Structure 1
Amino acid sequence: MQTKLRLVMAASALLYFGPLLAGLTGMGWNAVPVFIALFALWLVVMRPKDWPRQFSSWSGETLVSAFAQVAVNALIVIALFAAGRGIGAVAGFVPNIPPYIPVGLSFLATPLARLVWDPVKGEAVDQLLDDALRQINDPAFRPLTVGPGDVMVDTLLDLPDDADPLLTAEALDSALRGREGTIRLSLIEDALEYTEPERLGLRHGLILWATDPARHPNEEVRGGPATAFSLAGLRPELLMTFATRGLDLLRKTPAMTAAFPESRDVEMTIDASQPAALQSALAALANQIRSAEERSLRG
């Protein structure tokens, strides 16, 4: 978790370095709106709670909050741009750097940060911090204590490769409940990012749990299907299970679409070397997700 946070901070630094470098290279003030737009893009991607994907979720309060965030970031951009120009003027040196480099650095901040950090799960970390603050102010308040070394997580990670997926899914259903469940899911995901040991039984069970139609669409543990898809990797048998069960789940419960990976991510997994049945299943799942995405954009 700490490593991911450091990587996100490093990626975010590129966002701020872009307008500073742009000012240093002597770019005109007409470049400022470009950086303001890039900062707004970062907010939309990395703070989904403040920028709802569905039009119906926007309220007057949400609009005011979004406008305030953009306004604050616009001031930051202007300050960084002016600081860069001031440094260049004082130093008497203007580096000969193409304009697309500062813009590119700020643009890269968003995909790089999103690559290493799931903002939905980040909300669980925010909850932990809120709980810690509440405990300081109210000693009687009992915060979440889930973290590295959690007994449930360690037990699941110790399961053998040939562990029964159905039984594993039941165990996951017990462990991944409520606010603690979101944190446990993040800990499991971190451990399964390494391919050795493969823990195929746990990966398979996670897919069964995440695509279980009995789960409520508004469950507290969010992003389960997206995590299961990511941890399936390029393993054909796991992808096939996810694609067929995921498609069935979305047809029965379209509201679960927000918890699934984006359609383009599913499409990128399709490869000509895969069995035709798997390619067809992944394509059908991607089309189902895309249809829901388009309906959401239309409001």
Structure 2
Amino acid sequence: MTARLRLLRGATALLYFGPLLAGIGGFGWRVVPLFLMIFMAWLFVLRPEQWPRRWADWRRPEALIALLTQGVVQLLLVAVSFGIGRGIGGVLGVVPPFPLMLPVAMSFLSIPLARMIWNPWGADPPLDAALAEAEALEDQPKPDLQEQIAIATRMLAELGRVPQDAEPGLLAGHLQAMAAHVPQTALRAALMDAVYDGSAGALGRRAAIVHATDPVVAAALAGSAYPMAVFHALSQPEDLALFAGRCAELLAADPGCLADCPDAGDVARRAGQVPAVARELRALEAGLTAAAAGTH
């Protein structure tokens, strides 16, 4: 997954290179709205979870505020990139002879390329969670971490000896014992790699849930959106029910974990999609909303 994220970052670089090149080419500020539309289209295609999916939801004030906020942020990014390009062009003292469609096409090409690499509607997790996952790994020394992940993977294979209906407390005990030999980041990577590629069975998925919602792990990996990544990777009702209960307990014990937990709106949408565990997910949604209210 890390390799794909590197490719995605390369494709995204084209998005910013477009207005930069337009600035170098000496095109006027009138081209900024054109790049703004491309930037907004990128957000709609690559981060669909941020936007309402029904026309009625677009009428809600918070949806319009979110759209306006994102528009302002993207306008700032376009303006900065374009301004830097104008500065570079001024220093060079030359205007390269290329048509406007060249930088526009480069920016626009970023959308289909990024979409081919990353599928936000399929098995891939939301982009923000995946990027946080990759950054959590890249912050560690590469050779040591890869070796530790391999060790963690071998230790997790021993969970096959644990009864399939093992209680979360028993799983937490095994994971704590493993953490004495490898860092939590390595355990997280080994657990999530199996979840993402589908090789994790029911016990492996439950182990990932227990690990992500453990208060000690949450404190150690604060800022990495670990619980959020696990939530978006789950699909089975029994897994979602376990996650909802444990995540609610984590929030109650430490409201500061809110930033790493899934968004209340995403939880509400999942409750509508999986009626079998709607009650548990609605309870988690209420906990997330209360924690958010307490931080303001």
- Give 2:29's aligned residue: 29
2:286 equivalent to 1:284: no
- Give 2:139's aligned residue: 126
- Give 1:242's aligned residue: 243
Report how many aligned residue pairs link the two structures.
Answer: 243
Cα separation, 2, equivalents of 1:25 and 1:280:
57
Cα separation, 2, equivalents of 1:182 and 1:9:
22
| Structure 1: tracts of 5 or more residues without a match | 43-70, 133-143
Cα separation, 2, equivalents of 1:75 and 1:265:
32
Cα separation, 2, equivalents of 1:236 and 1:151:
31
**SS of equivalent to 2:101:** coil
- Give 1:293's aligned residue: 292
Does the aligned pair in 2 maintain the 1:120–1:223 contact within 8 Å? yes
- Gap change, CA 1:73 and 1:97, over 3 Å in 2: closer
Residue of structure 2 aligned with 1:191, choices 184, 189, 194: 194
Deviation readout 1:157-202 (Å, 9 max, x if unpaired): 464493735433322223346982113312321232022x342101
| Superposed displacement of residue 115, structure 1 | 4.7
Residue type of the partner of 2:166? D
- Gap change, CA 1:145 and 1:217, over 3 Å in 2: closer
- The within-5 A match list for 1:62-73 is none
| Superposed displacement of residue 22, structure 1 | 5.6
Cα separation, 1, equivalents of 2:134 and 2:181:
13
- Give 1:201's aligned residue: 203
Q: TM-score, normalised by structure 1?
A: 0.60
Cα separation, 1, equivalents of 2:203 and 2:80:
51
Cα separation, 2, equivalents of 1:31 and 1:185:
45
Deviation readout 1:61-103 (Å, 9 max, x if unpaired): xxxxxxxxxx99976442446789x999613x4439999x759
Cα separation, 1, equivalents of 2:182 and 2:131:
16
Cα separation, 1, equivalents of 2:241 and 2:110:
37
Does the aligned pair in 1 maintain the 2:20–2:81 contact within 8 Å? no
Instruction: Among all aligned residue pairs of Structure 1 and Structure 2, give the percentage whose two residues are the same amino acid.
Output: 25
- Give 1:175's aligned residue: 178
- Gap change, CA 1:80 and 1:293, over 3 Å in 2: farther
- Give 1:269's aligned residue: 270
**SS of equivalent to 2:97:** helix
Cα separation, 2, equivalents of 1:178 and 1:125:
20
- Gap change, CA 1:74 and 1:20, over 3 Å in 2: closer
Cα separation, 2, equivalents of 1:157 and 1:14:
41
- Give 1:63's aligned residue: none
Does the aligned pair in 2 maintain the 1:224–1:259 contact within 8 Å? yes
- Give 1:54's aligned residue: none
Does the aligned pair in 1 maintain the 2:267–2:281 contact within 8 Å? yes
| Structure 2: tracts of 5 or more residues without a match | 44-75, 121-125
CA RMSD of aligned residues (A): 4.7
Residue type of the partner of 1:228? V
